[in-house]
Structures are given as C-alpha cells and as structure tokens.
Structure 1
Amino acid sequence: MIRVLCALMLCAVPVLVQDGSKAAAAQSTQAVHIEVNGEQQYWRNAPLILKGTTFVPLRDVVQSVNGTLKWDSPTQTATIRVGRDTLIHRTGSKSIQVNQVSLAAPVHSRTVNGTLMVPVRAMANALKADIKVERTASGQMSVNIVTDQVSQLQPEVIRVDTYLREINYPGMALIARNGEILLKQGYGLADEQTLNRPDQKTRIASLSKSFTAASILSLAEAGKLDVQDPISTYISGIPDGHRITLHMLLSQTSGLPSAFGRGEHVTLAETVEEIRHKALKFEPGSAYLYSNSGYVLLAYVVEQVSGMSYADYVQQTLFNPLGMDHSGEASRKVNTNNGFVQEDKAWVTAPYYVSQSGSGTIYSTVDDLLKWDRALYTDAILSQDTIHTMYQPYSDKNYGYAWILKENGTKRTVFHNGSGGGFSTAFSRNLSDDVTIILLGNHAGMDMTSLLNEVEARTAKALNL
C-alpha cells in the first residue's frame, strides 16, 4: 500500500513580517502550534501568520512527509516529489501544480529571510490532507493536519495507476478483488482549490439506475408488484401503457424516448405528466432503446407502491441496511465534488447537474459502491435468484435490469456507465473472477466504455486472470 505518511509537529514563534500593518504585526507575534498526524517535531524555520493566513516553510514540510525537493534558482521554482505525486510551485505564485493539474491557492507564497513560505491550506490540499485551524483558550493558533490516510495502492496494480495518471483521468477509481481493495485513488480536481480524494462524494449519473431496479425487485419480492405488470396498473395515461410492462421499462425495451425536461424544481409527478405526452419510438418489447424516461416511471412506481418518496425508499431499503452512509439522493445541500465541462479548450465548472429520481440523481463514493457490489453476491437485499434476473440479456444489446452483460469465453462481467452534468462514470463487476472496477469521473464527454475496457484489460493482465 502506498500512502503519503508523516509524523510530526511544529510548535514555534512565527516570523514577524514588516508590512506596515500593526494588526498584521500583532498577529504575527503569536505562537502557532502545528500538528501533523498527532506527532511533535521542531522545524528549523518558524511559521508565519499574516492577515489570517498561516504560512509554513516549504522545505520543512517536504522533509516532514519524506519527500524530496529540487530547487531551480533561475526560475525560482521548487519541484517536490512525495510518493507517486509531483508538485511544482514557483515563488510568489498562487498555485501549486499537482501532477498535471493546477491547484489554486487563496494567496501568494512569499520568501521570508531566504525561506519560501507557502499557505498551509494550499499545501494541505496538495497533499490531500485534512486541516483544522482554531485558537486555544490561551489565544494560541493551533493548526492540526492529518495527511492522506485513505488512498490505497497495492504493488500488483501500480501500472494501472500509472496509466490513469498518464491519461490525466479526473475523478476517483477503485479496483478490488474478492472485496479486497487493490487501488483506491483520487485524480485531478474536485474544485479549483481542492484535489479529488478517494473518499470524495460524487454524482454517479446513470449508475443510479441499479438502485432503481433493485427497489422495484425488492417490492416484487415483497409481493407488492410483479415485473410483468403493465405500467397502467400504477400510472395512468402513458402511451400504450397497458402494453408496456415494468419488465420492459427495466430492460429498456418499452419504446419510450429518453429525454425529458430537467428544470431544477420540477417534481417527479410533473416529469411523469410530461412523459404522458411522449410518442413511442417502436412497438413495446420489440427492440432496445435506452430510456431515462422509463426509469423515471419506475421511480414513480416505487413511490406509488411503497407510499414513500423514492429517496426515502432507496435510503431505508438499500443504503441504510448496507451501511452506505455516504450515499443518497443529491441536492444542493450535499457537498459533492464539481463536474467540469469544456469551454473554449478550457475545463470550467459545470452547472449543477439536474436529473430526476430513478435515472441519475444518486451521489455516492467508491467505498459505498464497493459495499453495493459485495451485497449483490449475497442475499442481504435481494435473493440470488432475483439478482440473477438483473444480469440476463433481454435484447440484442445485452441489457438486463440496469446491468449490461459482457461475456468473453467462460468469463462473465456485468457493467454500466453513466454521464451527465460534467460527470462520467462506470462500474464493472467481473462475476467469474470477482474483480470490481469503479470509475467515478468528473469531466464531461469521457468515453467511459473504452476507458473501462482498457482498465479491465490492464487489471486482468496485472492479476494474471
């Protein structure tokens, strides 16, 4: 396992900066206590507190995390290597380049008595560390830093990690075999000032559909519905609703078009009303057509049959029993990473991702999705007989119930991908070798099917499968 680890602490009187400000001078003379992973150490260079910002000596920080620093005098640039990461910072700038992305800092770094001082929050972000800044009862400034304790990387899959770095993959990735994590990493930016961390909450786009399908099937197991029931049993006014079964909605063979309006405050009932006015693309059950609208209807069925909101039903029936404590239906109140879209050859923050219940509203983490993966090998939520129906190919596109079947000789894999609002995701479960691959990207337009195939192939080679 490769982790960024350190064990130190700083307790010193900060350097006084002469900038003509009495307030800054008074603030600078206070002692500051910096703790890293709860251990104590005295650095050669004192920290600096100026206008509410704590600065720390770059070289001392690098040494504390067992990194190396190379200084280029002509460009006044420091190149730092910590673990598998390369950080580059130029004196006086407001950014730290971490691998291939630029991490914005709130203020410029500065040189004090020949020592390069960097803002502690920016440095902590560059190291994917947690930071807590507070004042003690005596008025002393206390800065507590806990470095990255969640990233994981086993030697056998280092080349997969290298590949993801080389292609500048943005997002989170997890690879596990038999439920044991081999790779759990974050890549790229969560926002302009924060890197993606492996435990980051993120939108999962159409990976949400597996939870909608499981909700319908759990109601079927409870005897509250049958997947062969027509949609007209639960929702009136759907075109040819007496001929469209829940099975057809689950398997994307209903003939309903995919698109619907995505206003942020549009209710599920209002979206269902919109779908009532859609024309079918083909005879129900005669062909395959991926339809978000179909899964919106399934979410509405969950609500009609259970008497609960879709969000509450998924939370109480699936997430809570499995300990998926970092998953749920997204809202602006939930702190997830940003999605990014490309404008004028630059990546910019995407507008808030608006979907509708059932099709793409879930947020989660790679760890929680691994819990979902493990549950599907058991009877914890659904019986194995029911789960088996999720993996069956019900069309020439091999689409089951929110899983797509892929066979290679005797090897069976089920997967799904998703996209929307600046997010691109994929989830692969090799049922034959029990290998799980989860890719939760936060850039729009990524070819997740091709990327997933490549990661699957490299993982199989690494594990001699």
Structure 2
Amino acid sequence: MIRFSTSVHKISMFNRTLSAILVTSALLSQSVGISPVQAASAASVASAVTKPASITVDSQSVTWEYAPFVEKGTTYAPLRQAAAALGGQVKWNQAKQTVEIYDHGDTITHRAGTNVIQINEVRLMLPAPSKNMSGTLMIPLRSLSDAMKAGLQLTNTSSQMIITLKSDSSTIMSSESAAIDQYLKEAGYSGIALIASNGDIQLRKGYGLSDHNSLVRPDQKSRIASITKGFTAAAIMQQVQQGNISLEDPVSKYVSGIDRGNEITIHMLLSHTSGLPSNFTRAEGITMEDTLAEIRTKKLMAEPGAEYRYSNNGYILLAAILERVSGKEYGVYLHEQFFKPIGMKDTGTATPSTKTIKGYTDQKGTWAEASYYVSQSGTGTLYSTVDDLLKWDQALRGNKVLSEEIQETMYTPYSDRNYGYGWMVSETEEGTVVFHNGSGTGYSTGISRNLDNGITVILLGNHAGMDMTGMLNHIQEMALK
C-alpha cells in the first residue's frame, strides 16, 4: 500500500493578530464556512503538535488540504474532507453557522466552535470545541468518526502521525427501507433494527446511544429478553423430535414438588396454560436450584390447561427439564445444538461482564442507565445480535434444526391469546406471522417472521417500555409497500 504524507503548516502561521484572523475566517473552505467570531479559536492552537500525517481511508491513501494536528491529546482533522472521505454529504448552513452531514439516512449537525455534535436527536459531547484554521473547520477526529459510526485507528510516532479510517460498513439501508428508517427515528426508537426479505437484508442500523456518549452500532450485542423463550421451546421440541420427551409428560416426571405437578404437562408449560404464576426473585447469584425451590412454594393461579397465563416460571421449569433430560446445562445445550452449528458466534448466556449495549429506563422524563438485567435460564438470559437472530430465522425456515412438522406444532395457537410454543401466532392477509416480544430491565425487544412472504423484522431496543408488538406489526406492513 502506497501512502502519501500531508503537508505540514508551520505553527508560526497562527501567530497573527486577532483582526487578521477574523478577516481570513470570513472565507469559506470549499462549502464549509466559519463565522468571524469563531475564527478566534485559531489563536489558541499555537502550542499544537503538527507532524507529517499518513492518512488511509478504506485502504486508500488520501491527502487533506489542511494537516491534522494534536492539541492536549486530541487529534483534529478537517471536518469537511474527513466526513466526505467517509461517505458523507457535507453542507454548510450559513444562517445557523452549522455543518450538516447526511449519512445512511442520518442528519449529523455541528455548530462551529462548540463541543457538541448531534446525530438526529442524539447529542454527543466532544472532548474540546471545533476550531477554525484559516477558514477550515477542524474537529476532534474520533468524535467525528464516532458520529459517522466509522472505524478509527490513530498511531503517533516521533516522526509522523498515522491515521487509518474505515467508513461505516455495518449499516445497511436500501432505498426500499427508507420509510421504515424514518418511522423508527420519528418513534424515538433506540437500539438495533434489522429487516430482511427472504434472508436479504434491507435495513440494518443502530439508533440512539449504547452508553452515555457512544452511538449504537448495528453489529453490537444486546440482551434479547423473552426472545430467549423461542430457543427454550426449540430445545424442548428437539428433544420431542428425538423421542426423549413427550408433550404429555407431567412436570412431576422431571421436577418434584411443583403444585399439581402431576397434572401440568410439557405442553402446558410451552403454551403458558399451566396456571403457574409468572414472577420469581431476580438477584445476582441465585442459581437454578434456588429458583426451583422458590417455584415449589407457589400455588397455581388457574386450573392446569384451563386458560392462558403468561408464566416465566413455566419456562424456567422447561430449562430445568431440558437439563435433566440432556445432562447438560441450559446454555451449553443451546450452544452445542443451535448456536455453534448455525454459526451464531455472538450469542450466548449473559453475565455481568458480557459487553452489550446498555439498557435504559425512564426516570422522570430522562433516560437513565439501568441496572444489570437479571433473569433465569429458559426465560430471558440470552444475548445476541441482529445478524445471529437472522441466522436463527433462516435455520428455522430451512428446517435445519427442527423438522417442518415439529415447527408446525410450535406455530399452532393453543389459547385465545394465540400463543404456540415460544411464539405468538397471527394470521394476516399476507400470511402467517409468528413473533415474540421481550422486556427486561432497560430493554424492549422483538422478532417477527412472516412464514409465507419471507419478511423478518428484528428489534433489539435498549429503552424500557417501548411497544414492541405494535412496532413489529407496523414494520411488517410497511415492508410490503
């Protein structure tokens, strides 16, 4: 790879009088203008460190008309040229003294001389304000790359600065999905979204913040909450397919001490018709056996098989039954039977050290970082990515992990709430849609799969309380237009 060094501007050029700076700053630098008042910032960088710079963007060597420099540990680069090199369309709003960058459906704005950059409705703080250098707006490069979801590697040697940039390749947005993207932005959605048609990705994008000053990127991991139940049901049905479990087996065959466990069947647990209550104690360090001991103390809220009552405890029991039948821990079984064969490398059982996008809860009108989301095996412990969940969707559609007959059993509603086994079922004009939403401390998630037209919608949201079912349904409809 051939690299070219940028020209180095001498520090002495900045030692001008203030009036001279104000005159110079009135000139626009290739469509990006700076106000005369903000031009005074040039005088503050006399101590900046400049050296030859080798700049590579997407494996191509580039030169910038104004050399990047380092001041107080922050690397500055020319905003217009850097943003354009990363694929953004850059405009200068003279009236607002604001740079506007359009990238992957997002509007990125920055007012010259401030330390804020805004992506749609989300604000990121810069480590220092942008600076006008002879009519060229210089901005902290890492902040710009973060705003454009680009990759950045900075290396400083004694003789040169090496800048390696990689434009955002993880975001996918087809022209057909522009309306869905706009809908998600207007809805205030925060998290990761993926829409695919027969496995072909139409939209793959991150929205909002993943932590206090970083944007969500579409390749990040997230807790999936009750989408976990679809994996639990699939694991049990795999055991049914292999003849190791019968849907009519009573719970008491595998777990003792459950109220009327001799009447509650595997089928009832899967379809949420067991009558078991839903809630269980959530605290770090509680084991499966601890939770089972708690479930043994609970009384039924309805007759076994009489009605639909969503029950987390029922799916915890299914995980316990799976462990007893297979001889493997719940997470190990899923990894060996599903995740590894399908290639779901970024899916597993979450722990406090698992790096996922942060969850947020509404605290008096302000989104505050939520505490760690504690769950139990079978009901909500998994993390994943939208890419891995699409692999799961395609594996199911291709009958790679479960037979078509077994899946038909899973996608059959068994109550007036249209719940099958790990999936809710909806009959629409466009075909049968199976879906599941999830909620956990700071998270709202959902997956929706039209079995007939091949549309798959995956939402891994990191704001609690979002209407996932409504959003899934609306996006399914929009995807057909």
Paired residue type of 1:299: A
What residue in structure 1 maps to residue 173 of structure 2?
A: 153
Q: 1:74 to 1:378 in 2, by over 3 A?
A: closer
What residue in structure 1 maps to residue 376 of structure 2?
A: 356
- In 2, the alpha carbon distance for the partners of 1:327 and 1:183 equals 21
Q: Is the 8 A contact 1:10 1:40 kept in 2?
A: no
- How many Å apart are 1:350 and its aligned residue? 1.3
What residue in structure 2 maps to residue 128 of structure 1?
A: 149
Matched, 1:336 2:356: yes
- How many Å apart are 1:128 and its aligned residue? 0.8
Matched, 1:383 2:403: yes
Q: Is the 8 A contact 2:74 2:127 kept in 1?
A: no
Q: 1:142 to 1:26 in 2, by over 3 A?
A: farther
- 2:397 counterpart SS class: coil
Q: 1:148 to 1:374 in 2, by over 3 A?
A: same
Match of 1:33 among 27, 34, 54: 54
Pairing 1:348-427 to 2, within 5 Å after superposition: 348-409=368-429, 411-427=431-447
- How many Å apart are 1:247 and its aligned residue? 1.2
Q: Is the 8 A contact 1:10 1:35 kept in 2?
A: no
Paired residue type of 1:439: L
- 2:352 counterpart SS class: coil
- 2:378 counterpart SS class: coil
What residue in structure 2 maps to residue 177 of structure 1?
A: 197
Match of 1:209 among 229, 246, 249: 229
Between 77-86 and 449-458, report the one with greater CA deviation: 77-86
- 1:451 counterpart SS class: helix
- In 2, the alpha carbon distance for the partners of 1:154 and 1:307 equals 46
TM-score, length basis structure 2: 0.88
Q: Which runs of 5+ in 2 are unaligned?
A: 16-44
Match of 2:347 among 293, 310, 327: 327
- How many Å apart are 1:377 and its aligned residue? 1.6
What residue in structure 1 maps to residue 449 of structure 2?
A: 429
Q: Is the 8 A contact 1:130 1:146 kept in 2?
A: yes
What residue in structure 2 maps to residue 263 of structure 1?
A: 283
Q: Is the 8 A contact 1:14 1:49 kept in 2?
A: no
- In 1, the alpha carbon distance for the partners of 2:430 and 2:219 equals 34
- In 1, the alpha carbon distance for the partners of 2:9 and 2:330 equals 54
Q: 1:228 to 1:162 in 2, by over 3 A?
A: same
What residue in structure 1 maps to residue 81 of structure 2?
A: 60
- 1:376 counterpart SS class: helix
Across the aligned residues of Structure 1 and Structure 2, the Cα RMSD in angstroms comes to 2.3
Matched, 1:346 2:366: yes
- How many Å apart are 1:151 and its aligned residue? 1.6
Paired residue type of 1:59: R
- How many Å apart are 1:344 and its aligned residue? 2.0
- 1:357 counterpart SS class: coil
- How many Å apart are 1:123 and its aligned residue? 0.8
Q: 1:385 to 1:12 in 2, by over 3 A?
A: farther
- How many Å apart are 1:332 and its aligned residue? 2.2
Match of 2:103 among 66, 77, 82: 82
- How many Å apart are 1:120 and its aligned residue? 1.5
Paired residue type of 2:168: D
Residue deviations 1:374-405, cap 9 Å, x none? 11122311111111111011111110001111
- In 2, the alpha carbon distance for the partners of 1:184 and 1:81 equals 17
Matched, 1:225 2:239: no
Residue deviations 1:125-183, cap 9 Å, x none? 111112222346x6643232111112222222322222222222211111111211122
Residue deviations 1:46-100, cap 9 Å, x none? 1111232211111222332353444456754322223422111123433210011
Q: Which runs of 5+ in 1 are unaligned?
A: 1-7, 19-23
Paired residue type of 1:49: V
TM-score, length basis structure 1: 0.90
- 1:412 counterpart SS class: strand
Pairing 1:182-331 to 2, within 5 Å after superposition: 182-331=202-351
Paired residue type of 2:307: A
Paired residue type of 1:277: T
- How many Å apart are 1:9 and its aligned residue? 8.1
Paired residue type of 2:239: L
- How many Å apart are 1:26 and its aligned residue? 8.5
Between 63-72 and 384-393, report the one with greater CA deviation: 63-72
- 2:226 counterpart SS class: helix
Q: 1:410 to 1:80 in 2, by over 3 A?
A: closer
- In 1, the alpha carbon distance for the partners of 2:318 and 2:230 equals 12
Q: Is the 8 A contact 1:153 1:182 kept in 2?
A: yes
Q: How many residues align?
A: 448
Q: Is the 8 A contact 1:398 1:404 kept in 2?
A: yes
What residue in structure 2 maps to residue 95 of structure 1?
A: 116
What residue in structure 1 maps to residue 137 of structure 2?
A: 116
- 2:183 counterpart SS class: helix
Q: Is the 8 A contact 1:392 1:400 kept in 2?
A: yes
Q: Is the 8 A contact 2:47 2:71 kept in 1?
A: no
- 1:28 counterpart SS class: coil
- 2:132 counterpart SS class: strand
- In 2, the alpha carbon distance for the partners of 1:40 and 1:298 equals 56
Q: Is the 8 A contact 1:78 1:88 kept in 2?
A: yes
Q: 1:65 to 1:144 in 2, by over 3 A?
A: closer
- In 1, the alpha carbon distance for the partners of 2:290 and 2:87 equals 57
- In 1, the alpha carbon distance for the partners of 2:323 and 2:55 equals 51
- In 1, the alpha carbon distance for the partners of 2:242 and 2:88 equals 57
Paired residue type of 2:345: D
Paired residue type of 1:51: K
- How many Å apart are 1:368 and its aligned residue? 0.8
* Pair member with larger Rg: 2
